[in-house]
């Protein structure tokens, strides 16, 4: 969608074909029984990236939707008596840290100063100049000074500064958005801590789908045409160049093709000789987690909970191990509870609450209703024990979404939720390429290519691929 905006603005005749019945991919939204549910992204971080996107079209997010900065940003729950509420500014958060571990307040400020430097370097300066073509995109006078951060990891970096296990868990949490264990994520990515504590957590008034609607508006204003319920069956190649796509069995000719779909799935629509990456390549990547999600409508308001709630009342490292190292259904999972109606009442009927629960999982796990219900009971019991809310008694709407749904709905490899993890060997030029090396005029965007997983990187990906296309076309 980002690429559709940039290319239509540049004068291209853009047509978007979406397999499902609504636009936005994983950022879809649905409504049921008066409740509004965002199906995927729910953490509005890195607002500067969104603003930079809108500024490229002479606009601001304010032209499309209302944003509210959350205070507290989120609650981290270790047990009934032991919880941390993350405030909306660094001084507030530092005070919270100091109460838990003497001296940690100043240590946190120093750590965030370093993470801001990395954020300014990575996001503000480099992200838009890294189409993933060469290692030299990573090398400049500033990154050379930080080379040690690429060969150390988040876990070690945090544990040498902070001793309390709760503080360590809070600081390691943001890298889950990068889709890898903290021990496998380069320490340079501590810039996510500045994205969290420094820039804050925000909420669009009508949910994350406000962003999708804004992008549709910009693209359509510039002439782009969107088509839903349009499944791509095959990519037509002639003389090593894209000639069209089969949409619901009918050929649609095109001069240039960009796929924002799952990269592996896209290449499966090509004859094998035109594919850049083998099945072995994909099978040996480090994938972000899949998820088990429950969307719930409740006929009751909930107490002792915030908009965003992280249940870290079990072993963080063990759950991470069961996702990445020894893949299995987790023995005692961490989970996330989102209650949008805590911030905006209109997302649920009066006196009601809408929420969704997310349990991170390994990919390619067996998925059945029996297993889903087992874990549903586990998380509801823990919510009741810790917060005092007996959710089960008040459910009037329920829907689940898991590994098999990610595969069916998004053609997601292994049912992954976030794409390829940002490990050292899957960073920048080591990720799948934006431009096909085997098929002319075939391009890719989204979370499996550069810059990486997450909504802001996906938006930047659309700009990067558009710039490549515009520059390539100028050479002909």
Q: Given a cut of 50, is residue 324 above it in pLDDT?
A: yes
Percent of the chain whose predicted confidence (pLDDT) is above 70: 97
Fold held by 286-410: Guanine Nucleotide Dissociation Inhibitor; domain 2 (3.30.519)
Q: Is the pLDDT of residue 361 over 60?
A: yes
Q: Hey, where are the domains in the chain?
A: 286-410
In whole angstroms, give the CA distance from residue 364 to residue 413.
8
Beta strands 83-86 and 74-77, pairing class: antiparallel
Give the range with max mean pLDDT: 29-38, 121-130, 422-431: 29-38
Per-residue pLDDT tens for 75-126?
999 999 999 999 999 999 999 999 999 999 999 999 999 999 999 998 988 8
Q: Which residues contact 351 (CB under 8 A, 6 or more apart)?
A: 299, 300, 301
Confidence of residue 175 (pLDDT cuts 50, 70, 90): confident
Report the relative pairing of strands 225-227 and 15-17 from DSSP bridges. Answer: parallel
Left if phi > 0, otherwise alpha if psi is -120 to 50, otherwise beta: which for 102? beta
Q: pLDDT tens, 438-475?
A: 999 999 999 999 998 899 999 999 999 999 999 987 64
- pLDDT band for position 133 (cuts 50, 70, 90): confident
The pLDDT-based confidence of 424 (bands split at 50, 70, 90) is confident
Give the residue among 297, 300, 293, 281 at the shortest CA–CA distance from 420.
281
What separation in angstroms does the CA of 436 have from each of 95, 241, 256, 259, 470? 50, 10, 12, 11, 16
Q: Residue 139 pLDDT > 80, yes or no?
A: no
- Binned at pLDDT 50, 70 and 90, residue 476 comes out as very low
The pLDDT, as a whole number, for residue 143 is 64
* pLDDT tens track for 372-417: 999 999 999 999 999 999 999 999 999 999 999 999 999 999 999 9
For 48-136, strand residue ranges (E) read 67-69, 74-77, 83-86
Q: What is the DSSP letter of 248?
A: T
Packing angle of the helix pair 90-100, 104-119 (nearest 10 deg):
140
Ordered DSSP codes for 164-186: -HHHHHHHHGGGGGGTS-GGGSB
């Amino acid at each position: 969608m980002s690429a559709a905006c940039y290319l239509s603005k540049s004068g291209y005749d853009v047509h978007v074909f979406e397999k499902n019945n609504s636009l936005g991919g994983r950022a879809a939204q649905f409504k049921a029984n008066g409740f509004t549910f965002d199906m995927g992204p729910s953490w509005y971080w890195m607002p500067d990236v969104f603003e930079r996107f809108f500024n490229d079209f002479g606009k601001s997010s304010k032209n499309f939707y209302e944003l509210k900065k959350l205070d507290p940003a989120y609650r981290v729950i270790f047990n009934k008596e032991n919880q941390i509420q993350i405030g909306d500014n660094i001084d507030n958060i530092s005070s919270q840290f100091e109460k838990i571990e003497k001296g940690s307040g100043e240590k946190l400020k120093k750590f965030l100063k370093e993470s801001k430097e990395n954020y300014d370097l990575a996001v503000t300066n480099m992200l838009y100049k890294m189409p993933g073509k060469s290692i030299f995109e990573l090398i400049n006078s500033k990154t050379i000074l930080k080379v040690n951060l690429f060969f150390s990891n988040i876990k070690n970096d945090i544990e040498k500064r902070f001793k309390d296990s709760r503080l360590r868990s809070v600081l390691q949490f943001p890298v889950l958005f990068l889709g890898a264990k903290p021990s496998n994520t380069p320490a340079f990515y501590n810039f996510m801590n500045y994205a969290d504590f420094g820039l804050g957590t925000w909420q669009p008034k009508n949910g994350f789908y406000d962003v999708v609607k804004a992008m549709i508006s910009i693209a359509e204003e510039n002439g782009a045409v969107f088509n839903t319920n349009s499944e791509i069956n095959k990519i037509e190649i002639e003389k090593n160049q894209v000639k069209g796509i089969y949409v619901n069995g009918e050929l649609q000719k095109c001069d240039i093709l960009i796929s924002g779909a799952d990269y592996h799935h896209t290449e499966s629509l090509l004859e094998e000789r035109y594919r850049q990456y083998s099945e072995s390549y994909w099978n040996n990547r480090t994938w972000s987690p899949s998820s088990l999600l429950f969307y719930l409508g409740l006929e009751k308001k909930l107490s002792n909970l915030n908009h965003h709630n992280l249940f870290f009342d079990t072993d963080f490292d063990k759950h991470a191990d069961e996702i990445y190292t020894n893949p299995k259904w987790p023995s005692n999972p961490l989970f996330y509870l989102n209650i949008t109606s805590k911030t905006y009442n209109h997302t649920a009927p009066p006196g009601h609450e809408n929420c969704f629960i997310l349990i991170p999982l390994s990919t390619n796990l067996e998925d059945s209703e029996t297993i889903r219900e087992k874990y549903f009971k586990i998380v509801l019991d823990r919510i009741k024990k810790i917060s005092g809310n007996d959710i089960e008694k008040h459910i009037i709407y329920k829907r689940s979404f898991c590994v098999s749904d990610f595969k069916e709905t998004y053609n997601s490899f292994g049912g992954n939720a976030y794409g390829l993890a940002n490990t050292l060997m899957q960073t920048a030029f080591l990720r799948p390429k934006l431009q096909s090396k085997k098929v002319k005029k075939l391009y890719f965007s989204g979370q499996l290519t550069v810059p990486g997983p997450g909504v802001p990187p996906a938006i930047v990906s659309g700009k990067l691929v558009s710039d490549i296309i515009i520059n390539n076309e100028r050479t002909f």
